[in-house]
Structure 1
Amino acid sequence: MPEGHSVHRIARQFARNFTGKPVAASSPQGRFAEGAAVLDGREMLQAKAVGKQMFLEFDGDVWLRVHLGLYGAWDFAGEILVDPTIASANGRMGQTNQRGTDLDEQIFDDAGENSLSSIGAPRRSRVHVRMSEQTRGLVDEGEQWPPPVVGQVRLRLLTDITCADLRGPTACVLQTPDEVLGTIAKLGPDPLVGDPAEGEERFVAAVRRKATPIALLLMDQAVVSGIGNVYRAEMLFRARLNPHTPGRDVPEEVLRELWHDWVRLLAIGVETGQMMTMDDLDPEAYRAAMASRDDRHWVYHRAGLPCRVCGTEIALEEIGARKLYWCPSCQR
C-alpha cells in the first residue's frame, strides 16, 4: 500500500499539471461513470494529500477523494511538468542522484522504483509515468493523443496536454466540502498538513490514551496519518522500541522522538521518492541503497537475516494482519 510520501508526491504532480485547467473526465471501465460525468469540464482548483488519502477540488464545490489502497495506482501521460527545485535528502538537486547522473537519465532500483527525487526532469516530450508505491518511471509514449486506454481504468482525467488514469483504488468518491472536512477530521495528524507542533501534541495524546501495542497504533490512520508497514517497522527499530509495548506505557519523550522521526522520514520520502530509513551512509553505501531496497532499511524485509547492529536474527510475525519485522535484542 502506498505510504504517505507517495500520496503527497502524487498530489503535487496533480498540482503542477492539472490545477487551474478545465479537466475532461471519463470512466472507461464504467464503474465511476456518474462521478466522472459530474467532474467532466470542471476546472481543478487544488490537490492535497492527508496521510494516504488524496483530495482534488473542482469548481462548484465538488471534491474527489481517492484512496489507492493495496492495488491502486495513477498513470500519468503527456507533458509531465516536474518541480526542478526539490532537493534530495543529501542536499543535491532533485534531478541528480549520487551516481552523478544528469537530468535526463532514468535511474531505477532492482524493484523498478525511480531513484531520482522526482519522477523525472522538467521536459516537454510526451512520457508515461506510473505513480504508486511501485513506481515504474518514465516510458516513451509516442505521439498518439489521448493515449489509448489500457486495462481497467476507473477514472481518466485529461487536460489538453496531460492525462491521468486511475486503476484499482480502494476509494474513488465525490464529496461535498463538509464531507471532506469530516473525512479529514477522522484522520490523525500528518506532518505536512497544518502545524507540526500541534500534530505532535495530538499524536502523543492519542497514543498515551491507549493500551494497544505501539506497532498497531503507528498503523492506525486515526492516530497518525501516512505510516505504513515499512515506515512502522523502521521507526520502531530506530527508536529501539519493542513493538508490543502498550501505547500508554511508551515514555512521552520516546513518543515525541517517534513523531520527530516521522517528520524527518516523511520529508525525505517526499523529496527522494524513496523510503530511505538508514542514516549517515557513506557515498558508496548510499549508492547501494538507492539501487537496492535490501540496502535501504534496518529491519524491513530482513526476516532471518542478522541485525545490522547486533547480529541477532530479525524476527517476523503477523500483527493486525500485516507483517512486522523487528530485532528482539535491540528492541527489548
Structure 2
Amino acid sequence: MPEGHSVHRIARQFDRNYVGRVVAASSPQGRFAEGAALLDGREAVSVRAVGKQMFLAFDGDLWLRVHLGMYGAWDFAGEILVDPTIASANGRMGQTNQRGTDLVDSDLDGDAPVLDAAGENSLTSIGAPRRARVHVRMSEQTRGLDAPGDHDDADEWPPPVVGQVRLRLMTDITCADLRGPTACELQTPDEVQATIAKLGPDPLVDDPVAGEERFTEVVRRKPTPIGLLLMDQSVVSGIGNVYRAELLYRALLDPHTPGKLVPEEVVRSIWRDWSRLLVIGVETGQMMTMDDLDPEAYRRAMAHRDDRHWVYHRAGLPCRVCGTEIVLEEMGARKLYWCPSCQK
C-alpha cells in the first residue's frame, strides 16, 4: 500500500503539471464515467494530500478525492515538470511506485539516478525545476533506457489505454491514468472538510506543535496497542506497514504496549521521528529509515530495500544491532516485523 510520502509526491506532481490547466477527463474502464464527465473541460485549481488521500480541486467547487488503498496507482506519461522539492523524474507512482517506467529523452542534470530493485528512479540531488519526458512500459518486466531512434507505443499521443483505467486526466502534454483505487469520488468543499476532519494529523499539513499535541493526547488515552494505533489513520495520517515497523524499532518500543502506557516523551519522539522520515520519503521517493550511512552504504540502501530498513521484511534474519532473530507476526491484519530483544 502506498504510504504518506508517495501520496504527497503525487500531489506535488499534480500541482506542477495540472493546477492552472484545463483537464480532459474520461473513464476508459467506465466505472467513473459520470464523474469524469463532470470533470471534463474544467480547470484544476489546487491539490492537497492528507495522509494517504489526495484531493484535487476543479473550478466550480468540485473536488476529486482519491484513496489508492492496497493496489491503486497513478501512471504518468508525457512531459512531466519535476517538482524541485522531490528528487524523482516520476513515472508510476503508487502501489508499485514507478515500476515499469523509463526516463527517456531527458535533459536532467546533476547526479546519476539510483535505480532500486523495484524499478524506482530517484535522483540523489534536488535541483531546479526540470522538464523530462517519461513513458510507461506496456510490460512491467521491461526496463531500461530506450536506444536513440527506438519507436514504440510511447510515441503515441494520447498514450494507448492499457488495462483497467478508472480515470484518465489529460492536459495537452501530460497524461495521468488512475488504476485500482479504493476510493475515487467527487466531493463538495464541505464533504472534503468532513473527510479530512476524520483523519489524524499529518506532519506536512498540520502545524507541527499542534499535530504533536493532538497525536500525543490521543495515544496517551488509548488502551489499544501502539502497533495498532500507528496504523489508525484517525490517530495519525500516512503511516503504513513499513513506517510502522521502522518507527517502533527506532523508538525501541514493544508493538504490544498499550498507548496509554507508552511514556509521553516516547510518544512525542515517535511523532518527531515520523515528521523527519516523512520529509525524507517525499524528497527521495523511498522509505529510507536508517541513519548515518556512508556514501556507499547510502547508495546501496537507495538501490535495495533490504539495505535501508532496520526490521521491515527481515523476518528470520538477525537484528542489525543485537543479533536476535526478527519476528514476523500479524497485527491488525497486516504483517508486523520487530525485534523482541531491542524492543522490550
Structure 2 partner of 1:146: 158
Q: 1:56 to 1:110 in 2, by over 3 A?
A: same
CA deviation after TM superposition for structure 1 residue 124, in Å: 4.7
Structure 2 partner of 1:181: 193
Q: Mean Cα displacement is larger for which, 76-85 or 46-55?
A: 76-85
CA deviation after TM superposition for structure 1 residue 104, in Å: 8.3
Q: Structure 2 matches for 1:72-221, cutoff 5 A?
A: 72-84=72-84, 86=86, 103=110, 105-116=112-123, 124=131, 126-128=133-135, 142-221=154-233
Contact 2:87 2:126 in 1 (8 A): no
Quick one: which of 259, 274, 282 aligns to 1:270?
282
Q: CA–CA distance in 1 between the matches of 2:145 and 2:215? A: 37
CA deviation after TM superposition for structure 1 residue 194, in Å: 2.4
Q: CA–CA distance in 1 between the matches of 2:16 and 2:242? A: 28
| 1:29 aligns to 2:29 (yes or no) | yes
* TM-score calculated relative to the size of structure 1: 0.90
Residue by residue over 1:156-182, the C-alpha shift from the partner in whole angstroms, topping out at 9 and shown as x without a partner, is 000011110000000000000000000
Structure 1 partner of 2:98: none
Quick one: which of 291, 295, 302 aligns to 1:283?
295
Matched to 1:327, the amino acid is C
Q: CA–CA distance in 2 between the matches of 1:125 and 1:111? A: 21
Matched to 1:79, the amino acid is E
Contact 1:113 1:137 in 2 (8 A): no
SS in 2 for 1:35: helix
Contact 2:123 2:284 in 1 (8 A): yes
Matched to 1:235, the amino acid is L
Q: CA–CA distance in 1 between the matches of 2:207 and 2:132? A: 38
CA deviation after TM superposition for structure 1 residue 110, in Å: 1.3
Q: CA–CA distance in 1 between the matches of 2:37 and 2:313? A: 43
Structure 1 partner of 2:309: 297
CA deviation after TM superposition for structure 1 residue 273, in Å: 0.5
Contact 1:104 1:120 in 2 (8 A): no
Structure 1 partner of 2:319: 307
Structure 1 partner of 2:96: none
Quick one: which of 213, 226, 230 aligns to 2:238?
226
Q: CA–CA distance in 2 between the matches of 1:226 and 1:35? A: 26
The root-mean-square deviation of aligned C-alpha atoms, in Å, is 2.3
Structure 2 partner of 1:93: none
SS in 2 for 1:79: strand
| 1:242 aligns to 2:241 (yes or no) | no
CA deviation after TM superposition for structure 1 residue 143, in Å: 2.7
Aligned residues: 315
Contact 1:156 1:166 in 2 (8 A): yes
CA deviation after TM superposition for structure 1 residue 108, in Å: 1.4
Contact 2:136 2:154 in 1 (8 A): no
Q: 1:30 to 1:77 in 2, by over 3 A?
A: same
Contact 2:2 2:52 in 1 (8 A): yes
Unaligned 5+ residue runs, structure 1? Answer: 89-100, 131-135
Contact 2:314 2:337 in 1 (8 A): yes
Q: CA–CA distance in 2 between the matches of 1:265 and 1:125? A: 27
Unaligned 5+ residue runs, structure 2? Answer: 89-107, 138-142, 147-151
Contact 1:190 1:226 in 2 (8 A): yes
SS in 2 for 1:80: strand
Structure 1 partner of 2:338: 326
Q: Structure 2 matches for 1:50-65, cutoff 5 A?
A: 50-65=50-65
SS in 2 for 1:81: strand
Q: CA–CA distance in 2 between the matches of 1:249 and 1:166? A: 42
Matched to 1:47, the amino acid is V
Contact 2:48 2:56 in 1 (8 A): yes
Matched to 2:59, the amino acid is D
Structure 1 partner of 2:43: 43
Structure 2 partner of 1:92: none
CA deviation after TM superposition for structure 1 residue 84, in Å: 3.3
| 1:71 aligns to 2:71 (yes or no) | yes
Q: Percent identity of the aligned residues? A: 82
